[in-house]
């Protein structure tokens, strides 16, 4: 190697085999989210500042200049370069060879083995989930230059590579190097020139590194002035008393990408066995993809203020609307997603945060009824999933739940309210589920309950049919559907002072019941006199042993059960219509009437007539008789 006195000698080195493998995967990666390279370089720069901070504790000379730590990102569109520079600890020659030519991290080898074992697209996913480190620069650059000066040293070093198997290393011209720290220059590929755009880079910094504990400045063009993009202060690490409502709201908006005000902030620090800080928000509007079955939570996980993933299941699915962050020092920074999910640390954090969020929601009505009501209106259907998914917290979730009922159209009645107002002798909580409040309120099944002054929960969320059928009880009270069997209303009727039906069961009526049982036997399991009807002529209920009719319909439409069980047709002996049908003598008129009564009950339930064509013909015959046409 020939050198002049001005030129410094440059050595060529081959990458360690593992690095070559990793680089090959980076360069040929089809991984679409290449933005992560910037997060990696900024995270390294921040680490370097933190290391300096730490080493300066025992060796104050290292940071004797008193310059505050900072990271500068510098763009140059003409030269198509992006530079990340820090004033952290820096690297000397040996450290560079060690850090940028080998792979020291213990997890990396195993990661690469998995990566190579995985196929195609899966492969790309793994890269994204893993902290890809310095070498991810080669996803967007065809040459990377590093120039660095170790804190406390005068010599500076350059490192340069095209990622093709070798790198060069040599002493740098001191005037070219930062006074202290590291400058990483990416010569961007043609595909990656968007990373010289101020808007793109600023957005990525805010999104991915907004809470890095070192301020980040951006210089958008050669010779330009730096502007500060982030201030390096992590909001959640500040004492609560120093954080204003607006600070919380701003942070919520930046972390959630939503533009409303949160309804609830939960900010706490857990100490003891596991140490973490959590800052969680209940949003003020529904995220658009809330009901997407694929959608998981969006809480962000930080390890020591470095963003790791927003894909870790930090909360159960029924809290997937909650936004925010958890920052822990109990996990290693370079943890893979799979390792996070299986980590006992994560399990402990999930329990802790879930408990705190639910407790805060439980207390909210005492201090801010308006926000609580809105939160329930927006997220009640999601929270109800927890009633059947999370056995441990079932009672707490039932206590939180609010309902529309036969006495209140507002979604504000709690089960405690319901129980407080139960009738003497009433042992169950009655509910009815259906597609809409209007349909439910018009339903004949409710007439007997109204007449007896018994409140009924009116449930219209799809999830209601699931939790009601498996929840058992709340505070010792069972849940009973008004469409299910006799709903022990008869027993209640005997106890209370509601007058029983005035109409005696005449022989005509019992023969009508027998006749209908026989005529409609393909459609209904039984026909019987009703105690729950006061106005309507007929209604359908589930057979005593059968499942709730609403649940059955949902399961049927989801293809989960093939044939629905036959319902029971109840007829109201007090109804003039029923009484008139009972004394019909013309056999064909009687048959038509029996079927029309069944069809009426079906339509009231939101269903179609048993046989629409036959229904139309019967109705025409009836019209013909009535109007003489
Ligand atoms: P990790 O950050 O997980 O250690 P990386 O691949 O991101 O892995 O970086 C490898 C190593 O390179 C770091 O551990 C560090 O020693 C060194 N390094 C990278 N960037 C810098 C920097 N800006 N300042 C000082 N050292 C750095
Ligand atoms: Mg790193």
Domain that holds residue 208: 2-230
**Residue 363 φ then ψ, to 5°:** -80, -20
Question: How many angstroms is it from 259 CA to the middle of ligand 1?
Answer: 36
Of the listed ranges 138-147, 319-328, 479-488, the one predicted with least confidence = 479-488
Which residues are bridge partners to 434 per DSSP? none
Q: Which of 207, 213, 235, 360 is nearest to 298 (CA)?
A: 207
Same domain, 443 and 565: yes
Q: Note whether residue 327 is domain-resident.
A: yes
Is residue 12 very low, low, confident or very high in pLDDT (cuts 50, 70, 90)?
very high
Which of the listed residues 182, 198, 230 is the one where a domain comes to its end? 230
21-38 tens-digit pLDDT: 888 877 776 556 688 889
- Residue that has been written with the tokens 């680490």 in this structure: 47
Q: Note whether residue 385 is domain-resident.
A: no
For the four alpha carbons of 50, 52, 58 and 64, in that order, the dihedral sign comes to negative
578-588 tens-digit pLDDT: 999 999 999 99
Q: From CA 280, how far away is CA 264, in angstroms rounded?
A: 8
The answer to whether 501 and 574 have CB atoms below 8 angstroms apart is yes
Question: How many angstroms is it from 51 CA to the middle of ligand 2?
Answer: 13
**Residue 136 alpha carbon, nearest atom of ligand 1:** 6
Q: Note whether residue 397 is domain-resident.
A: no
599-619 tens-digit pLDDT: 999 988 878 898 999 999 999
377-397 tens-digit pLDDT: 999 999 999 999 999 999 999
Q: From CA 273, how far away is CA 5, in angstroms rounded?
A: 60
Question: Which of 16, 134, 152, 169 is the best mutation target for the ligand 1 pocket, counting ligand atoms within 8 Å of the beta carbon and taking the most?
Answer: 134
Ligand nearest to the CA of 137: 1
Q: Assign residue 244 the CATH number of its domain.
A: 3.30.230.80
Q: In the structure encoding, which two tokens stand for residue 407, read together?
A: 């006495």
Q: Note whether residue 392 is domain-resident.
A: no
Q: With 50 as the cut, is the pLDDT of residue 318 above it?
A: yes
- Stretch 31-51: mean pLDDT: 83
Which of the listed residues 167, 200, 230 is the one where a domain comes to its end? 230
Same domain, 202 and 241: no
Quick one: 239 exposed, middle or buried, by C-beta within 10 A (0-12, 13-18, 19+)?
exposed
Give 156 or 534, the one with higher predicted confidence: 156
The answer to whether 146 and 100 have CB atoms below 8 angstroms apart is yes
- Stretch 366-382: mean pLDDT: 96
Q: What per-residue string of b and e applies to 196-212 under the rule 16 or more CB within 10 Å gives b?
A: bebeebbebbeebbbbb
Q: Note whether residue 390 is domain-resident.
A: no
Q: What per-residue string of b and e applies to 517-550 under the rule 16 or more CB within 10 Å gives b?
A: bebbeebbbbbebbbbbbebbbbbbbbeebbbbb
Q: With 50 as the cut, is the pLDDT of residue 1 above it?
A: no
Question: How many angstroms is it from 167 CA to the middle of ligand 1?
Answer: 16
Question: How many angstroms is it from 30 CA to the middle of ligand 2?
Answer: 21
For atom 13 of ligand 1, which residue has the closest CA? 99
Which of the listed residues 209, 230, 251 is the one where a domain comes to its end? 230
Same domain, 474 and 376: no
Q: Note whether residue 590 is domain-resident.
A: yes
Q: Assign residue 14 the CATH number of its domain.
A: 3.30.565.10
Percent of the chain with pLDDT over 70: 86
Q: Note whether residue 394 is domain-resident.
A: no
Same domain, 204 and 68: yes
Q: Find the helix or strand (DSSP H, E) in which 149 lies.
A: strand 141-149
* Number of compact structural domains in the chain: 3
Q: Assign residue 463 the CATH number of its domain.
A: 3.40.50.11260
């Amino acid at each position: 190697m020939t050198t002049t006195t001005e030129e410094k000698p440059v050595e060529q080195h081959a990458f360690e085999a593992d690095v070559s493998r990793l680089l090959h995967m980076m360069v040929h990666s089809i991984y679409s989210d290449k933005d992560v390279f910037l997060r990696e370089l900024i995270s390294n720069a921040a680490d370097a500042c933190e290391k300096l901070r730490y080493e300066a504790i025992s060796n104050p000379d290292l940071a004797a200049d008193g310059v505050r730590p900072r990271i500068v990102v510098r763009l140059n569109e003409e030269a198509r370069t992006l530079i990340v520079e820090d004033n952290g600890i820096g690297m000397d020659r040996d450290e560079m060879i060690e850090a940028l030519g080998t792979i020291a991290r213990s997890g990396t080898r195993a990661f690469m083995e998995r990566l190579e074992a995985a196929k195609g697209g899966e492969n790309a996913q793994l890269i994204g989930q893993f902290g890809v480190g310095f070498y991810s620069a080669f996803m967007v650059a065809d040459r990377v230059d590093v120039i660095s000066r170790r804190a406390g040293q005068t010599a500076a070093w350059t490192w340069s590579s095209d990622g093709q198997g070798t790198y060069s290393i040599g002493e740098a011209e001191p005037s070219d190097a930062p006074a202290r720290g590291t400058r990483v220059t990416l010569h961007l590929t043609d595909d990656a020139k968007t990373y010289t755009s101020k808007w793109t880079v600023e957005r990525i910094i805010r999104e991915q590194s907004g809470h890095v504990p070192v301020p980040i400045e951006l210089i958008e063009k050669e010779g330009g002035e730096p502007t500060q993009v982030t201030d390096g202060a992590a909001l959640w690490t500040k004492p609560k008393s120093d954080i204003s409502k607006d600070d919380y709201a701003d942070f919520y908006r930046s972390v959630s990408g939503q533009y409303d005000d949160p309804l609830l902030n939960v900010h706490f620090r857990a100490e003891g066995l596991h140490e973490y800080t959590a800052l969680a928000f209940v949003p003020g509007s529904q995220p658009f993809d809330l009901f997407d079955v694929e959608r998981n939570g969006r809480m962000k996980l930080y390890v020591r203020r470095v963003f790791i993933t927003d894909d870790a299941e930090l909360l159960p699915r029924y809290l997937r609307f909650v936004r925010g962050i958890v920052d822990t020092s109990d996990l290693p920074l370079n943890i893979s997603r799979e390792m996070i999910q299986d980590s006992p640390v994560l399990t402990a954090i999930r329990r802790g945060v879930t408990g705190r969020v639910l407790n805060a929601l439980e207390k909210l009505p005492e201090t801010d009824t308006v926000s609580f009501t809105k939160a329930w209106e927006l997220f009640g259907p999601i929270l109800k999933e927890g009633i059947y998914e999370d056995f441990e917290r079932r009672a707490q979730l039932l206590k939180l739940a609010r309902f529309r009922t036969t006495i209140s159209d507002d979604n504000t009645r709690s089960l405690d309210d319901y129980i407080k107002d139960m009738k003497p002798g009433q042992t169950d909580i009655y509910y009815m589920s259906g597609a809409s409040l209007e349909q439910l309120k018009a339903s004949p099944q409710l007439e007997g309950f109204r007449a007896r002054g018994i409140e009924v929960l009116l449930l219209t969320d799809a999830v209601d049919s699931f939790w009601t059928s498996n929840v058992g009880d709340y505070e010792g009270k069972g849940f009973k559907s008004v469409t299910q069997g006799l709903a022990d209303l008869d027993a209640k009727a005997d106890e209370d002072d509601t007058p029983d039906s005035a109409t005696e069961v005449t022989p005509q009526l019992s023969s009508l019941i027998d006749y209908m049982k026989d005529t409609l036997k393909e459609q209904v399991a039984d026909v019987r006199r009703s105690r729950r009807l006061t106005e309507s002529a007929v209604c359908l209920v589930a057979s005593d042993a059968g499942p709730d009719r609403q649940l059955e319909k949902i399961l049927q439409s989801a293809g989960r059960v093939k044939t629905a069980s036959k319902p029971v047709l109840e007829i109201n002996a007090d109804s003039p219509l029923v009484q008139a049908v009972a004394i019909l003598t013309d056999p064909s008129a009687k048959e038509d009437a029996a079927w029309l009564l069944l069809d009426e009950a079906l339509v009231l339930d939101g269903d179609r007539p048993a046989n629409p064509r036959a229904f139309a013909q019967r109705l025409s015959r009836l019209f013909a008789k009535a109007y003489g046409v």
